[in-house]
Amino acid sequence: MFSSPRRDTLDGPIFHSTPKERVREISPGPRSPPRIPVSVYGWYRVLVFCKNHRETKGRVMRRLHRLVSPHPLAPRYMHPGGEKDATHDIDAFLTFYVNSYLIASELNRRCMREPKLFLKISDRMPLVRLDDSYRWRLKRTLKARYDPQTRVLDLTQFYTDYAWRNHFCALAQPQCLDAAISIISRFMPDLLCLKLDRNFLRNLRPLAHLDRRLPDLRRISLLNNDIDSLDMLQVFKDLPMTELDIRHNLLSPGYEEDVIRMWPTLRVLNGTSIGLEIRITCDVDPVERLSRQTGMNSIFSHQLLMQNDGDFSKALWVFEELYYANQIPEKAFM
């Protein structure tokens, strides 16, 4: 039978510019600012604030270059002001990003040497602009990862592709995933297998209507992502999938039987073949299934399912929480 693996928090390597040993080496002193968190993508946002309103960008950048010297400072996506998703920092003098933990931590550690400047550094990802140049790079990178012989597109850890060494692209950003799917449906309409492993995906809405955009798609892998609800998988509801891998996500234990019920065409789930015995078990009435697994009578099993919108996995999880908290009455088991 299937089992729900626990998510390994160390799974999914850090970006190549974020060596783990750096994280251990740099420790804040008594007067140092708080250490910046390690970005899973390896990119860091730098907000620059100036006390002198007559300051120029050129002078500010020369000071920042001196701060990290002899290390090179290569700012990316620089623009005046703050970012749209940081409205409380809208009065920033300018914003830029660096794709190096070493540079970000050096700026963070040495910024107190510049009394006229204040830096606010975080692990926030860049807000990319999907212009023609960016879409061209995205199309070229997708085509390079496609195998026309097997009709497999492998986008595992797409953000680490060499094409993005000086640029940022994360499929976890809905606009990037939507642009990628548009390109795939245009240039790879006969796609059979799509692998989206290790991309920190949580929002799958850009994958809606794949049955019309990619009619031959039958196998999808979402291994090692951040999907926390089966509702997100509803975007595939009209897709006649035969294979699906959603191991190492944030789903509640016992979700497998619900997935099998959602897709009668499914033949392989999480690398395991779905036999006739398993499929018959999954076709059992959910109230009866909950009663069998919990020992509760049908009345309380039905009530618990209704309280959780008929979601069997959620109802089972709530039962376990209530059971270990001794909050289930004895009559529920009579």
In total, the chain counts a number of residues equal to: 334
Q: Which fold has domain 132-282?
A: 3.80.10
Q: Which amino acid is at 185?
A: S
Domain ranges of the chain: 20-122, 132-282, 286-333
Low-confidence ranges of the chain (pLDDT < 50): 1-30, 276-277, 280
Q: Which fold has domain 20-122?
A: Alpha-Beta Plaits (3.30.70)
Residue with tokens 């690398």: 271
> Which pLDDT does position 141 carry in this prediction?
97
Sign of the CA dihedral running 146, 148, 153, 157: negative
DSSP-assigned beta bridge partners for residue 268: 243, 273
Alpha-carbon distances, residue 131 vs 169, 175, 183, 206, 251 (angstroms): 13, 12, 14, 18, 35
> Which pLDDT does position 303 carry in this prediction?
83
CATH code for 286-333?
1.10.8.10
Alpha carbon of residue 81 to chain centroid: 28
- pLDDT (tens digit per residue) in 30-60: 456 678 899 999 999 999 998 887 889 999 9
261: tokens are: 């019920």
Give every CB contact of residue 165 below 8 A, 6+ residues apart in sequence.
Answer: none
Angle at 250 between CA 245 and CA 255, to 5 degrees: 60
Region of 224 (left: φ > 0; alpha: ψ -120 to 50; beta: rest) is left
